[in-house]
Amino acid sequence: MSASSNASAARAWVEIDLPAIDRNVGRIKQALPPHVRYVAVVKANAYGHGMPEVATRLLQAGVDCFAVANVAEAANLREVGHDADILLLSPTLPSELPRALALGLDITLNSLAEAQALAAAVAKSGLKAKVHVKVDTGMGRAGVWHEQAAELFAFVQAAGFEWRGVFTHFSDADSDAAYTTNQRAIFLKLLERIPAAVRSGLMIHADNSAGLESFSASAPFNAVRVGLMQYGLPPSSGSFLASLRPEPVLSFHARVVLVKDLPAGTAVSYNRTKTLSRPTRVAIVAVGYGDGVPTAASNRGSFLVRGQRCPILGRVTMDQTIVDVTEVPSVVVGDIATILGAQGADRITVAEFCAWSDCIPWEALCTLTQRVQRVYRTDRT
């Protein structure tokens, strides 16, 4: 979609193409065996896209349940009115457990101590606990270390929790197939420690977007946790995932608020990291690191204005970024600068933005700040 068709009066905004989410979910579901449940990852404000609108659309598109980082995010989802299952991906603090129980969340257990705290909270509240056990098979982050997992499995069964799932998380699925295969093998071996009658009732999951690359229908996996791909970004190029052709969902735009001509030799922006080598027409764009354009893009990135690439001059500042529009002399105040997405025949991709900004795609999306207005496109095209 061209930015110029956007009627937003905002200074800086992201446009979210909700029908693109439908199409992405459809493609991912089609590529998976029908029995596999789709856990839609909507933490961090649905990767910056806006949780309520995106979660509602994901449900309409056919996802089975949600995953979030913490109880506060889950409570936001419940406030929107969703009674779908919500899995907490991170460890839960003892102080958060009563609320997690009251909201009927699927609590992830990462240690024996956490399970004991949950048993105490259950005893106090009289509420039922629904749990998944997370196993660390080589990520070194959340999850019980795999050599200690059997003890936690036994506790969960004895405690009388409703044991709903067991999972692990891959650390390198987008770049190291051998390491991922090893993590998967450790996890599969560990599953044998769970009695078959119990195991057959569990949700068993490991794959995030990048892991889908090697999803095996013959293994006991019956769920996937998808984030990045549903937002239109394949984690690795040239792969099965890229061949699904996910569509970008988000584009990022801001207004030109000033245009002026500066003489050669002028130093531009804080700390004078750029000195103009020629007389230059500059446009000041109402977007900066306070919106989600990192200072790493200073003197490296470009914005699209009137369909042409306009290089960033000097340091990106909190509220404004200066671009060179000498080659686009017709630029006027109010024009749209596109930071991410298409204008005319050109497009700035998230991958390109990340290269300028020294960041990863998840980070580029999640660091779009609250100040940036979210504009939702809802038409079905």
Ligand X SMILES: Cc1ncc(COP(=O)(O)O)c(C=O)c1O
Residues with a catalytic annotation lie at: 43, 270
Based on CB atoms, which residue is closest to ligand X, 101 or 229?
229
Q: Supply the minimum distance, in Å, between the C-beta of residue 38 and ligand X.
A: 11
In sequence order, what E strands does 231-295 have? 250-262, 267-268, 274-275, 280-285
Q: Site for ligand X (CB under 6 A): how many residues? A: 12
Q: Supply the minimum distance, in Å, between the C-beta of residue 112 and ligand X.
A: 20
Residue 189, SS3? helix
Based on CB atoms, which residue is closest to ligand X, 188 or 259?
188
Which residue has its beta carbon closest to ligand X? 227
Q: Are strands 37-41 and 223-226 parallel, antiparallel or unpaired?
A: parallel
> Quick one: tokens of 355?
């290269």
Based on CB atoms, which residue is closest to ligand X, 89 or 323?
89
* Binding track, positions 235-254, relative to ligand X; x by CB under 6 A: x-------------------
> Which H helix or E strand runs over 324?
strand 321-324
Q: Supply the minimum distance, in Å, between the C-beta of residue 362 and ligand X.
A: 6
Which residues have CB under 8 Å from 185's CB, separation 6+? none
Q: Supply the minimum distance, in Å, between the C-beta of residue 366 and ligand X.
A: 10
* Binding track, positions 37-56, relative to ligand X; x by CB under 6 A: ----x---------------
CB atoms within 10 A of CB 322: 25
- Residue 355's Cβ-count burial label (10 Å; 0-12, 13-18, 19+) is middle
* Binding track, positions 189-228, relative to ligand X; x by CB under 6 A: -------------------xxx--------------xxxx
- The C-alpha atoms of residue 204 and residue 219 are separated, in whole angstroms, by 10
Q: Supply the minimum distance, in Å, between the C-beta of residue 77 and ligand X.
A: 16
Window 319 to 378, contacts with ligand X (CB under 6 A) = none
Which residues have CB under 8 Å from 233's CB, separation 6+? 209, 246, 248, 350, 361
Please, where are the H alpha helices in the chain?
A: 18-31, 43-47, 51-61, 71-79, 97-102, 112-125, 149-159, 177-191, 196-199, 240-243, 350-357, 361-366
Which residues have CB under 8 Å from 123's CB, separation 6+? none
Q: Supply the minimum distance, in Å, between the C-beta of residue 229 and ligand X.
A: 6
Return the closest-CA partner of residue 215 out of 40, 32, 38.
Answer: 32
**Binding test (CB under 6 A) with ligand X, winner from 23, 57, 82, 169:** 169
Q: Supply the minimum distance, in Å, between the C-beta of residue 134 and ligand X.
A: 8
The three-state (H, E, C) secondary structure of 23-79, written as one string: HHHHHHHHHCCCCCEEEEECHHHHHCCCHHHHHHHHHHHCCCEEEECCHHHHHHHHH
* Binding track, positions 76-115, relative to ligand X; x by CB under 6 A: -------------x--------------------------
> Quick one: tokens of 197?
């009658």
Cβ atoms of 129 and 161 closer than 8 Å: yes
Binding site for ligand X (CB under 6 A): 41, 89, 169, 208-210, 225-229, 235
